[in-house]
Amino acid sequence: MMKKKLLTFKNVLSMSMFNMGGVAAAKVVSNNYLKAGIHDVIFKGIDKAQNLNALELQFEAVDGSGIHNERIFEPTSAERTESQYGANPSQAEQFMCKIKQIIDALDPELGEKIEKDGNKFAAPDFDGFIMLLKRYLDKRIGTQTQIKLIPTKGSYVGFPSYVAALSRDGAIYMTTKVIGENLTLSTKETNAIENAKNAKPTDMRSRDNELDDLNDDFSIGNKKDDIDDDLPFG
């Protein structure tokens, strides 16, 4: 009787081990990083970047050919600057314009609410703002969209750094679209991408060293202030 029970247990164990049901949806996911250009992607999540004062957005190519982690650093100034061409948006304004594009692309309904009353969508500090974004955008994981990547520092590609400008009367407006449908490249962006095609392939072992260099430039905060449980838009 004991032997019969043991055999039955072995049969059950074998059935659980040798069952394709658990891996039916599994697929090969590339560890390659997407190159410069416009890509059809799936939004995979948002978090604070590890050991950096930056938020990180994760994307995966629709066809599984690569991934991209977009890091957007905490702005350090809310002051507008002057150049030979006139006034420029502050770091904070550039940051918030980029965030607005991300929200519009991933959660259009939230984007519409922000356009009506943007002052409600606020947090006391950078960590709190990331938490606020995460509480909304985590619900949009799996959303398909497009992203625009251009050559940046070193061997990296990423969203264009500057997405906004100021009109003569000081009003801020978008100059380029980095995420969303029907993206296009400017002549300058196209030329930069063409030049990048002739560059050597990225040595992924060097990326850690480049992150160490970035880490030297940005201090790491340990603020853990909580934001209100109630979201600004129900």
What is the pLDDT at residue 18? 75
pTM exceeds 0.75, yes or no: no
What does the pLDDT look like over 153-210, one tens digit per residue?
777 899 999 999 999 999 999 999 999 999 999 999 999 888 877 766 655 555 555 5
Signed CA dihedral, 125, 128, 132, 138: sign only:
positive
pLDDT of residue 44: 98
Q: Which residues of 208-222 are buried (b: 16+ CB within 10 A; e: fewer)?
A: eeebeebeeeeeeee
Identify the sign of the CA torsion 129, 131, 135, 140. Answer: positive
Strand partners, 43: 59
- Whether the CB-CB separation of 149 and 161 falls below 8 Å is answered with no
Identify any residues that bridge with 179 across adjacent strands, giving them in sequence order.
147
Backbone angles phi, psi at 41, to 5 degrees: -135, 170
pLDDT in tens, the chain (234 residues): 555 555 565 665 555 677 787 777 776 655 699 999 999 999 999 999 999 999 999 999 999 999 999 999 999 999 999 998 899 999 999 999 999 999 999 999 999 999 999 899 999 999 999 999 999 999 999 999 999 999 987 778 999 999 999 999 999 999 999 999 999 999 999 998 888 777 666 555 555 555 565 555 544 344 444 555 667 766
Q: In b/e form, how buried is each residue of 99-125, taking b as 16+ CB within 10 angstroms? A: bbbbbbbbbeebbebbeeeeeebebee
